[in-house]
Amino acid sequence: MHTKGELLKETIEVFNGLLAIYNEGNSLVPEQINIENEIYDTPFVIDTTKIPGFFNQFQEVSHIQFPKDSHNYVKFHVENETNIFINPNTLDAGIEVEFTPKTIYYRDTIASIPNYKVNFDDQIRWGVSRVVDSINIQCRVKYVSD
């Protein structure tokens, strides 16, 4: 509990603080900076330096087929000189990679634009058990650029 004198002293201190801010108000005017003198932070940039190496690793892609329970299971394998695989999932944020099979060449027929996924991590179920000769896969990389 404050006495009248303490309360009056505290009120005067608060008032003097507000008065000081008000008196200095003229010095708080924003400074005008010319556009040519303006300094900006480093702009946001997506690191796309991995993309050429990412594409180069797909020079030799093979698939291994596992027939099981009357279905095909396909595992994709990348063979390159360095044996280092840049997984699409490890690319930087802002970079999306999409693999789309365009044509599957079976031993006896051709299937255009199948509705299958391509994954380099594990084997994928690819329809009924048929011998797959080769696969035409489109790789699309989407990223933000200037």
3-state secondary structure of 115: coil
- Threshold 0.75, pTM exceeds: no
- 30: tokens are 């924003």
Question: Would you say 93 and 46 are in contact if contact means Cβ atoms under 8 Å apart?
Answer: yes
pLDDT in tens, the chain (146 residues): 678 788 888 888 888 888 777 766 555 566 788 888 888 877 777 777 777 777 777 777 778 888 888 888 888 877 765 555 666 656 666 777 778 888 888 888 877 766 777 777 777 787 777 888 888 888 887 776 65
d(CA 123, CA 129): 14
Question: Would you say 73 and 126 are in contact if contact means Cβ atoms under 8 Å apart?
Answer: yes
d(CA 77, CA 59): 11
Give, as one character, the DSSP assignment of residue 90.
Answer: G
CB atoms within 10 A of CB 135: 21
